[in-house]
Every structure is written in C-alpha cells, then in structure tokens.
Amino acid sequence: MVEGEGLLVRKIRSGVVIDHIPPGRAFTMLKALGLLPPRGYRWRIAVVINAESSKLGRKDILKIEGYKPRQRDLEVLGIIAPGATFNVIEDYKVVEKVKLKLPEESQGVLRCPNPTCITRKEREKAVSKMVLVSQDPPAYRCVYCGTTVMGDEIHDLISP
C-alpha cells in the first residue's frame, strides 16, 4: 500500500485512498468528486503530487478521511485515471481494493458535448449515454448523436 514509500502521508482510520494516479490527475479527481472549495469542505484531505513511483515514475496520491464513496465515484474516477487503485479503509485496514478502469458505458455521468444532442435539451429529459469505443487513447461515443470525445477533454465532460 501507499505507506510503503516512506510514510509520505500518515495512515487514515477510515475513508478512501487512491493510489497510482497519473501525475496531475489528483486535482481533476477532487474537482470531479465535488471536493474542492467552496463546495466540498467537510473532509480532511491529503494530496501528494509527483510522489515517486516504481510503476509510473511519478504519481499522485489522494486520501480522503471519513469519506463514504458513492456509487458513481468508481465510474467518475475510472474515467479520470484508469489503472489507479481505489482503496476503502476501515479501522486502518483496506476492506476493499478496486483497480479503476474506463467504464464500458456511462449513463448520466459523461455529458455529450454536442449542444444540439437530445441529451442537452432540458425539455427532453434524456439521460446522456456514452459508450467506450477506444481504450488508448480513451474515447467515448454518444449513443444518441454519435459525437465522439477522446483524451483529456473527456474529463471536462463529467457532470458535477
């Protein structure tokens, strides 16, 4: 676990630890989870940017004390950092460990960027639905209008 690397940040009693985040993505994660000020200021959060990593060279680490993950979090975080590890901590122990991955299908989380798409019209109340069409670089296609999004621009399309 994270602590192996010289106790960069102290252990937490309960909450979530996300490790092996590609450098620069920890802030994207905090933003997507709604945990940046002024909105999400309840939790104690530790962020390490550019920690050394034998696997990635450099990585970010994110610890959110007391945070109870919501169902959509794995999908949101998988879109931002596939390959990162998501650990749920209880009483200082890892009780769940998930390797994040790009969701095959995203419903209501990724917005279609096409302003004329039916999912962007408020009156229609159509929930967005994007399907994964490429892993590397990551790309999603809207099932309604066919618009394809890829790379880092995908992160900007995550609904808050």
Q: In the complex, what is the shortest distance from the CB of residue 69 to its own copies, in angstroms, rounded to a whole number?
A: 18
Q: In the complex, what is the shortest distance from the CB of residue 117 to its own copies, in angstroms, rounded to a whole number?
A: 28
**Around Cβ 34, how many Cβ atoms within 10 Å?**
11
Binding map of its own copies across residues 20-49, x = CB under 8 A, - = no contact: ---xx--x--------xxx--xxxxxxxxx
How many C-alpha atoms does 138 have within 13 Å on its Cβ side? 18
Contact between 58 and 26 under an 8 Å Cβ cutoff? The reply is no
Q: State the Cα–Cα distance between residues 11 and 92, nearest whole angstrom.
A: 7
Is residue 56 close enough to count as binding its own copies by CB under 8 A? no
Map residue 130 onto helix, strand or coil.
strand
Name the segment binding its own copies (CB under 8 A); options: 3-11, 70-78, 81-89, 129-137.
3-11
Interface with its own copies (CB under 8 A), residue from 1, 13, 34, 50: 50
Contact between 106 and 130 under an 8 Å Cβ cutoff? The reply is yes
145 marked as binding residue: yes
Which residues contact its own copies (rule: CB under 8 A)? 6-10, 23-24, 27, 36-38, 41-51
